[in-house]
């Protein structure tokens, strides 16, 4: 194995320096635990950034990948493959949408949604929320709020940004020229801000009033993360388009964009496509992941353990705790970068979304004991910092 110091040096010479990484090289994972190159163990409350919902290397997902890899890995979308069709049917059932388009990441699912809006409405103007994150490709980036992400890459097709959870602001921004409103039901990258159910219901009405489509970006909130299969269920609002990725295929890269009837039918043959999308191997992994979420009641587990985690964190006296299910944001007076570093030294992987906010998004298979340990480490780190 390459020594960590040497690995870090070689990374800096061989890989574009676009990521800020923590000083750790991970080599193995199981459930909510990962191990580094020195054999040290960590509780993973980042979970691949809300990807490892079924835990690291879930045996059923590993088995499905192995079996499919020995049979057929990839053929292209020039041919029919069974796993892709069965997966689309599963997603239809779970989301209430009519048809699925497969892709390979969250940003790609947003790109597909943006193209579909143009096809279905003939309009291209989008209204998005302040603090939003929809991805880094040019189309998705135009709808991502943080000016430091957008400014170096202008010109972009940029959304009109409105304050989140503000019905009046949304109503004022959406016009007859709007093609769509795109919203995260819970804003993850921003630090876990939850949309009010009334706000999402109002968004539905505002879109209907002008013939605009409503897109829910559930890339981060999907597959049980918020204590429902999809976060839209908390409000009961059915959007026209849903974007998915992250947890979908148990850790392998996959995305999907789903839409309701007439909207989905607006895409014609040749309108969009991707070489790897919905391949046999990745679809097998996604089907196994969905099966594990069902078999192990992970949606309910997320709701219950999320409530437990928030209650335990409250005792640490944060400024604010937000979240649904096992998607939790906590504002602290402390320097969160130092907190994350301290937690790492004490065997816990955490993520800070800003100077004073940490986000906790563990695998949904996490146990109460593991939560207790993480809360204890955060508490001790906070004491050290004060």
Ligand X SMILES: Cc1ncc(COP(=O)(O)O)c(C=O)c1O
Cα 343 from chain centre: 23
Rank residues 141 and 339 by Cβ distance to ligand X and give the closer one. Answer: 141
Tell the smallest beta-carbon distance from residue 372 to ligand X (Å): 28
Q: Which of 55, 106, 251, 325 binds ligand X (CB under 6 A)?
A: 106
Rank residues 223 and 342 by Cβ distance to ligand X and give the closer one. Answer: 223
Query: Around Cβ 73, how many Cβ atoms within 10 Å?
Result: 13
Rank residues 44 and 184 by Cβ distance to ligand X and give the closer one. Answer: 184
Q: Answer whether 218's CB lies under 8 Å from 232's CB.
A: yes
> Using CB under 6 A, which of the segments 5-13, 132-140, 329-337, 355-363 binds ligand X?
132-140
Residue 217 is a catalytic residue: yes
CA–CA separation, 297 vs 305, rounded Å? 12
Catalytic residue among 123, 228, 232, 246: 246
- Residue 351 binds ligand X (CB under 6 A): no
- Could you tell me whether strands 213-217 and 125-129 are parallel, antiparallel, or unpaired per DSSP bridges? unpaired
- Residue 325 binds ligand X (CB under 6 A): no
Q: Which of 87, 110, 212, 242 binds ligand X (CB under 6 A)?
A: 110
Nearest CA among 295, 134, 327 for reference residue 230: 327
Site pattern 201..220 for ligand X (x: CB under 6 A): ----------------x-xx
Write out the binding residues for ligand X, residues 171-200 only, by CB under 6 A: 184, 188-189
Rounded to the nearest 5 percent, the helix, strand and coil shares of the chain are 40, 20, 40
Tell the smallest beta-carbon distance from residue 209 to ligand X (Å): 26
Residue 4 is a catalytic residue: no
Residue whose structure tokens are 């959870």: 165
- Residue 360 binds ligand X (CB under 6 A): no
- Residue 111 binds ligand X (CB under 6 A): no
Query: Which residues are 354's β-sheet partners?
Result: 357
Residue 44 is a catalytic residue: no
Query: Around Cβ 24, how many Cβ atoms within 10 Å?
Result: 16
123, 162, 180, 230 from 146: Cα distances, Å: 24, 13, 20, 25
- Residue 357 binds ligand X (CB under 6 A): no
Please report the sign of the dihedral spanned by the C-alpha atoms of residue 189, residue 243, residue 364, residue 70: negative
Write out the binding residues for ligand X, residues 233-252 only, by CB under 6 A: 245
Residue 260 is given by DSSP the state -
Tell the smallest beta-carbon distance from residue 245 to ligand X (Å): 5
112, 118, 120, 140, 266 from 271: Cα distances, Å: 10, 11, 12, 18, 9
CA–CA separation, 4 vs 11, rounded Å? 10
- Residue 107 binds ligand X (CB under 6 A): yes
CA–CA separation, 135 vs 103, rounded Å? 14
Catalytic residue among 44, 45, 216, 217: 217
Residue number with the smallest Cβ distance to ligand X: 106
Residues interacting with ligand X, by CB under 6 A? 49, 105-107, 110, 133-135, 184, 188-189, 217, 219-220, 245
Residues classed as catalytic: 133, 217, 246
């Amino acid at each position: 194995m390459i020594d960590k110091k040497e690995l870090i040096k070689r990374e800096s010479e061989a890989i574009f320096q676009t990521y800020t990484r923590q000083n750790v090289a991970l080599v193995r994972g199981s459930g909510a635990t990962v191990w580094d190159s020195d054999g040290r163990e960590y509780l993973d409350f980042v979970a691949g950034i809300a990807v490892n919902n079924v835990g690291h290397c879930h045996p059923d997902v590993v088995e499905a990948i192995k079996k499919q890899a020995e049979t057929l890995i990839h053929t292209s979308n020039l041919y029919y493959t069974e796993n892709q069709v069965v997966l689309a049917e599963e997603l239809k059932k779970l989301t209430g949408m009519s048809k699925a388009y497969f892709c390979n990441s969250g940003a790609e699912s947003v790109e597909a949604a943006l193209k579909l809006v143009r096809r279905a409405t003939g309009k291209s103007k989008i209204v998005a929320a302040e603090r939003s994150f929809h991805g880094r490709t040019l189309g998705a980036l135009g709808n991502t709020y943080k000016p430091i992400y957008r400014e170096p890459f202008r010109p972009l097709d940029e959304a009109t940004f409105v304050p989140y959870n503000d019905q009046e602001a949304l109503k004022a921004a959406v016009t007859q020229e709007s093609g769509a409103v795109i919203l995260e039901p819970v804003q993850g990258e921003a630090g876990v801000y939850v949309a009010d159910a009334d706000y999402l219901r109002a968004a539905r009405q505002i879109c209907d009033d002008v013939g605009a489509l409503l897109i829910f970006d559930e890339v981060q909130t999907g597959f049980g993360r918020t204590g429902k299969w999809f976060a839209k269920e908390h409000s009961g609002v059915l959007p026209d388009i849903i974007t998915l990725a992250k947890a979908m295929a148990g850790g392998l890269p996959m995305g999907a964009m789903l839409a309701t009837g007439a909207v989905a039918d607006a895409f014609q043959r040749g309108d969009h496509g991707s070489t790897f999308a919905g391949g046999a191997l990745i679809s097998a992994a996604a089907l196994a992941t969905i099966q594990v979420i069902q078999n192990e009641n992970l949606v309910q587990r997320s709701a219950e353990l999320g409530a437990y985690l928030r209650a335990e964190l409250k005792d640490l006296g944060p400024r604010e705790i937000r979240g649904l299910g096992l998607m939790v944001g906590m504002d602290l007076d402390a320097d969160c970068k130092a907190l994350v570093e301290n937690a790492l030294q004490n065997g816990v992987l955490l993520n800070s979304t800003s100077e004073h906010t940490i986000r906790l998004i563990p695998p949904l298979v996490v146990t109460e004991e593991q939560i207790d340990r993480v809360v204890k480490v955060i508490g001790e780190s906070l004491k050290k910092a004060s």
